Amino acid sequence: MISSEGKFLGKQVEYPQHYAPEMLVAVPRHFNREQYQLDETKLPFIGLDVWHAYELSFLTKKGLPVTGLLKIVYQATNKAIVESKSLKLYLNSFNMHHFGDTANEGLNEVLTTIKKDLNQLLETDVRLGFFNHGKYKSAYDFSDYIVLEDSTNADHIEFSHYNEAPELLKATGKGGELKAASHLLRSNCKITNQPDWGSCFIHIKGETLPDEKDLLQYLVSIRNENHFHEEICEMIYKRLWDIFSPNELAVSCIYTRRGGIDICPLRVSHEYLLPNELVNPVVLSEKLLRQ
């Protein structure tokens, strides 16, 4: 399993017709963390990466297709992420492969195989959930967040920065707690330059908070940045951590699915700030605007 972020991205690749674990690619986290002075031995956050793969399918030994949504959750403190197109190619390699005499037997084999392969690739314990056509109670973690583009009278703000501009974030001297969201997050894939659309949810508590207009302008300034989703989340977290020295900080980035997969990186200062439903592999959260 090769560690090369550009192995498949931006290239025309023939989809495998049978189970192909060799398609998986790991991307070391330290490449981007070094840019933002994130010491992997003393990270200022804990976190998880949550993935939803909407197109998992395989055949039973009698040829019956089984199809559903795969939820993947793994720690942000391991050494690598899985590159998204490689995961898409890998999961598609199950499509015409036969597993199990029954749908349930096949599903157990497939989930066991995926967990083994991802554990080996990422050197961490990956948790999985599977959801088919059955009814599931959806859950939502962000109901008490204000939406910055609505709360700040955004039509009257001057936006002129479209490359990350941390100088826009200034300490106000006003303390307390802020739970703010924006659906205007956009960044670009660092390999293909394709736009990635998302929503950002920020919970910050401390002696000084960012001004809501400044925070919105900062999030908009990410528009032309070229990073993977996980890297954008850690960049936002690190800027807020350094500038405001909060007592509590949580940054959740919920990105639009591409190629049948969405990625939701979460970085928090304390474990209790993790969004409970989103990080639970056996709970299917309510879809957010950008998913």
Outline where 55-162 has alpha helix (H).
Answer: 84-92, 103-122, 148-151
**Which candidate in 196, 253, 262, 264 is catalytic?**
196
Compute how many other C-beta atoms are within 10 angstroms of the C-beta atom of residue 101: 11
Q: Which bin fits 245, alpha (ψ -120 to 50), beta or left (φ > 0)? A: left
Alpha carbons 35 and 190: distance in angstroms, whole number: 14
Alpha carbons 252 and 142: distance in angstroms, whole number: 10
Catalytic (active site) residue 200: no
**Which candidate in 49, 117, 189, 264 is catalytic?**
189
Catalytic (active site) residue 189: yes
Alpha carbons 271 and 86: distance in angstroms, whole number: 30
* CA max distance for the chain: 67
Tokens of 23: 């398609």
Outline where 74-145 has alpha helix (H).
Answer: 84-92, 103-122
Can you point out the beta strands (E) in the chain? 26-28, 46-59, 65-75, 80-82, 127-131, 146-147, 176-188, 195-206, 248-255, 261-268
- Number of residues that this document lists for the chain: 291
- Give bridge partners of residue 82 from the DSSP assignment: 26
Compute how many other C-beta atoms are within 10 angstroms of the C-beta atom of residue 26: 22
Query: Residue 97: which of 57, 132, 131 has the closest Cα?
Result: 57
- Give bridge partners of residue 180 from the DSSP assignment: 146, 202
Active site residues: 189, 196
